[in-house]
Chain A
Amino acid sequence: MNFKNEVWVFIEQRNGKPADVSLELLCKGYKLAKAMNGSLKSVVIGSNVKGIAEETFKYGADEALLIDHPSLKNFRTLPYSRILNDLIKSQVPRIVLFGATITGRDLAPRVASFTKSGLTADCTDLQISDVKYLGKDYHNLLLQIRPAFGGNIIATIITPDVPTQMATVREGVMELVPLEKPNEIKIKEIEYKPDPVDDLVKIIEQHREENKVNLKAAPIIVAGGYGLGTKENFKLVEELAHTIGGEVAGSRAAVDAGFVSPERQVGQTGVTVRPKLYIAVGISGAIQHRAGMQESNKIIAINTDPEAPIFEIAHYGIVGDAMEILPEFIEVYKHKLK
């Protein structure tokens, strides 16, 4: 089959601003498009969002598809998926990327189902490669790479026999690198034709708080794991973070146990961070967690188990009881930096 090799990124927006993850995906999409001599298109749906479409050219878009209409102001599954279904059916992009946000995880599967595309959730890397699969050669396939099954393995997923390959990616996984010189703006406006189906689900009210936690921007992160045992013990993590001017984070197990709030989860299904210093306390270091922090500049691991995988990627390893080490750390720090 011959394909146009177009990479599309669904640009999620709210309150007139594009989501960070969408811009990060443009940066990755730019590289993927380059790798197969294709082009990158942003798909912007909303109300008064021309400015957002223009912004996508800073991150590598060659063209923006703009669907702008007052009734599209807030994301709703039915109109948004209907628009994407029509566009994908008629223009057959080779790749479509979505942020693995609540919106992306609601929208992408619906669209993948309609267009019978393959879809891989929560990828931690995407690459273009020729692939030999079951004796057949495939040119320029999208490798969708993600940890799987409890994290003991990394799986590379492909969707060889469908025209459109889709993937979702969490915020922070791909790096945000604007082009040195933005691409020339080329916006294609597409008319929205309302349909009664679009209004089967109505938004009655909406409440949002701007996310006060910004782990991605924190130079120092102190993260606690399930190994801390109790929420009470987890407070020492907070105290250390407070003392050294860092943000508090947690592993998925710590979030599931209620030690720390979900927006502070680091890892494959949380946020990916690259701070100057990452202190992992009582975190064993499953691949899903490491996927979210292994590119940190310096990693300190504190764990009672000398065999914990976290030590394999740590720059500094401390084997011992966090309940004793953290108070000592805090005291020594205060003494040194008084």
Chain B
Amino acid sequence: MFNSIVMVKQVPDTANISGKVMKDDGTVNRTKLPAIFNHEDRVALELALQVKEKYGGKVTAITMGPPRASDVLRECLYMGADETYLISDRKFAGADTLATSYVLSEAVKKIGNYDLIFAGRQAIDGDTAQVGPQTAEKLNIPQVTYVEEIIDISENKIRIKRKIDGGFEIVESVLPVLITVLKDVVEPRPFSAKRVMAFKNAKSLLDIEQIADENSLLDKDKLVYEYKEKNLLINTLTMDDLKLDINRCGISGSPTKVHKVESVVLKGGSQVKIEPTKAGLSNLIEQLMTDHIFG
């Protein structure tokens, strides 16, 4: 039996970003962007589910983000996660990777009872690949990054194949260990129709608070009780729940600051237009021969 915690992230679909969604401080106004489940994190969840199927244990998915990040946790439930945690607080906003890893590591400590932590190698909104190793450092456990395959897990050891520059290596780590997973190593399973039916109404505490706020006839505590009874409560951890140091969260806990954001200015102007014809191409090739690039 091995218990896994999978760190997932809801990311803006960076293919659809324009300058209009940037705030003045240079951070992205995420509310204006379509939000998706970071693909490599989905692969990480799949790997964790495979470990569970092979060895037994429990899979817990966690995410740090705004209230709507509970979307990705519902998707984790649809795929097979046993339990989910939304780690959310306004004071987490603007966190860089260091502040994010602080919050995540404290949440992992609070959840506890884990043998493996999984994460995607990197998220498409920043491509930094930093949160995994930084979380491992804060938990004071080993990390194995760029993982391609879990070969075997025995009592307190795990054998892993990972990518290295120019090849691969097989390493053996003690447990617990944090693993970051490459994108194409396993195909994430589709949602189970049964689980979608079972969990489509799962809600975080923040979702439930909002429902109660919008309808004065509903009592928040009673709603929470009902969701919990029906196994539809997405656990929620806030700054207070985790007893965090505010100076290490959000913008104040982030050493990296966006100093300047520039729209990309293109040089332009000096381009020679070549007609897509035999004559056009012929002239171009002659020009390149004259320049001693060809021939």
A positions within 8 Å CB-CB of B: 14, 19, 75, 77-78, 81, 101-103, 105-110, 112-114, 116-122, 131, 133, 143-144, 147-162, 200-211, 219-220, 244, 269, 276-277, 287, 297-298, 300, 309, 311-321, 324-325, 328-329, 332-333, 336-337
Contacts and interface: CB of A to CB of B under 8 A. Distances in A.
Contact of B264 (A81, A154, A311, A321): A154
B256 A159 contact: yes
A326 to B, nearest CB: 10
A277 B292 CA distance: 11
A336 B288 CA distance: 12
Nearest to B158: A201
Which of A201, A208, A314 lies at the interface centre, i.e. has the most chain B CB atoms within 10 A of its CB?
A201
A204 B261 contact: no
Given A204-B170, A317-B273, A328-B281, A102 B163 contact: yes
Contacts of B272: 315-317
A209 B163 CA distance: 12
B159 A204 contact: yes
Interface stretch (B17-25, B48-56, B198-206): B17-25
A156 B260 contact: yes
B284 interface: yes
14 contacts: A106-B143, A106-B145, A109-B130, A109-B131, A113-B138, A116-B255, A155-B261, A157-B259, A206-B164, A276-B293, A318-B281, A318-B284, A329-B285, A332-B281
A150 B271 contact: no
B1 interface: no
A220 B294 CA distance: 9
A149 B288 CA distance: 36
Interface stretch (B87-95, B107-115, B120-128): B120-128
B256 A120 contact: yes
B10 interface: no
A317 B131 CA distance: 41
Nearest to B129: A105
Contacts of B142: 77-78, 200-201
